[in-house]
Amino acid sequence: MTELKIELTPATRLAVINVKQCIRERYGDILDAYDRTLYFSHHTTGGYIDQGLAQRLNHSLDSIHAFLRTFQNLFPPGKSYQHDNMSLRTELTEEERENEPPNADSHLSFISSGLQSCVSYRNEGDQPVYFVDLDGVNHKNQARRRLSTVVGFNKDRLVDRFRIEAPTSDQDIDSIDLKDEQIGLFEKSQELIRQHGIEKGWIEFELDPNQPGAGLTVNEYETLLMQHDLASVLRNPMRYAAAGGQYLFRNPLAIPGKTWQYVKYDFIRMVNRTLNVPGFSKLFTDRTVNRLFTAPASHFLGMKQSVRFLIVCNGHPEESGSILQGRYQSPILVQWKKSLRGSRSVTATLRECT
């Protein structure tokens, strides 16, 4: 196995960087000896496109940019996001308020587009691996430093698995920080890593598929972002959208049925203008329209049923590993339909790279 750390410097706010090429330029063909590679982003507005989605986009930079622009149309910068109202951010100091970027749109685009903090790729020649930064240049036009940890390996094995019940509220729309000590998910996971002496691998958290109405993401658990902006999107995913830059859908339920069909049609046209990928555009359009214009349980575009975190040794090979986390990263359970039993099952699966 080989572990690398690579720093990326985006040149624009929306930046798509071929990390595999960067590694080759800096470290040569070091990863060619391995069948698979794990890529981990330490950030909440920058992550990876999984291999399946990249294949559907033909590994094309133009297609990926078009795909991402669709979500930028759904969540334009500068709208009325509570996360970006610094006067409400009481957890920040005065200096931090001056420097904190207004980036709620980037967080919402990260979650909805299906970007991931940790992905596993089969090594297939020079096939690119893309890191996507949605907030690569801050509001002062300064490039941000982005860090990724990369692990090359050949095989993995199942080490252990356990299940916990994460308490949920009686509200349909809610979000729960699974890193909360009262839930105990991270504490039990870390104890098992120590018991088994795992040095490198990953842990995957997965929701019970028999409990619909919820998904998982890795992001910043900031109160205004989670409890206001994200909740607003789940109630009305077109709240911030400006399809074609012409209008803002504040209250879709108030639009008459026939007019609503025109709204849907206009949105499809917007998607097709920005996403013209053979074999992909219709699939994405159908999925988008079905989820955006039907029942709330289907609103959120890219919500996953599972998320991963890397396990590494943090420079101490004589010790067992620990769960690698970026400064603001949390696994977050997002609920848009309440659980009748007041909790949701989360399974943690521990795997070791060999």
Q: What are 154-180's pLDDT values in tens digits? A: 999 999 999 999 999 888 888 999 999
User: Residue 245 has what pLDDT?
Assistant: 40
- Record the tokens describing residue 137, joined without a space: 């240049």
User: Could you tell me if 266 and 73 are in contact, meaning their C-beta atoms sit under 8 angstroms apart?
Assistant: no
User: Could you tell me if 81 and 229 are in contact, meaning their C-beta atoms sit under 8 angstroms apart?
Assistant: yes
pLDDT tens for 183-204 read: 999 999 999 999 999 999 999 9
Residues 6+ apart with CB under 8 A from 218: 44, 47, 116, 117, 118, 307, 309, 329, 330, 331, 332
Res 16 pLDDT > 50: yes
The dihedral through the CA atoms of 232, 41, 117, 197 has a sign that is negative
Q: Which has the higher per-residue pLDDT, 342 or 72?
A: 342
Q: Are strands 330-335 and 214-219 parallel, antiparallel or unpaired?
A: antiparallel
pLDDT tens for 107-134 read: 999 998 889 999 999 998 889 999 999 9
User: Residue 267 has what pLDDT?
Assistant: 53
Per this entry, what is the length of the chain? 354
Nearest 5°: phi and psi at 103?
-135, 30
User: Residue 119 has what pLDDT?
Assistant: 96
User: Residue 213 has what pLDDT?
Assistant: 87
Q: What's the average model confidence in pLDDT over 51-59?
A: 88
Q: What's the average model confidence in pLDDT over 11-32?
A: 94
Amino acid, res. 103:
N
Res 255 pLDDT > 70: no
pLDDT band with cut points at 50, 70 and 90 for residue 319: low
Count of H-run helices and E-run strands, the chain = 10, 15
Q: CB-based burial of residue 5 (10 Å sphere; 0-12 exposed, 13-18 middle, 19+ buried)?
A: exposed
- Record the tokens describing residue 61, joined without a space: 């930079």
CATH architecture of 2-353: Sandwich (2.60)
User: Residue 101 has what pLDDT?
Assistant: 85
Distance of CA 189 to the CA centre of its chain: 21
User: Could you tell me if 161 and 167 are in contact, meaning their C-beta atoms sit under 8 angstroms apart?
Assistant: no
- Record the tokens describing residue 333, joined without a space: 């359970």
CA distance linking residue 353 with residue 36, whole number of Å: 10
- With a pLDDT cut of 70, the percent of the chain lying above it is 80
pLDDT band with cut points at 50, 70 and 90 for residue 58: confident
CA distance linking residue 167 with residue 35, whole number of Å: 39
User: Residue 271 has what pLDDT?
Assistant: 53
Res 89 pLDDT > 70: yes
Domain boundaries of the chain, sorted by first residue:
2-353
User: Residue 287 has what pLDDT?
Assistant: 55
Res 294 pLDDT > 80: no
**3 state DSSP class of 230:** helix
Res 67 pLDDT > 90: no
Mean pLDDT of the chain: 83
User: Residue 34 has what pLDDT?
Assistant: 96
DSSP tag of 38: E
Q: Are strands 146-153 and 2-8 parallel, antiparallel or unpaired?
A: antiparallel
Q: Which has the higher per-residue pLDDT, 237 or 283?
A: 237
User: Residue 4 has what pLDDT?
Assistant: 94
Nearest 5°: phi and psi at 211?
-120, 80
User: Residue 273 has what pLDDT?
Assistant: 52
Amino acid, res. 220:
E
- Record the tokens describing residue 242, joined without a space: 């400006």
For 215, the enclosing helix (H) or strand (E) is: strand 214-219
pLDDT band with cut points at 50, 70 and 90 for residue 91: confident
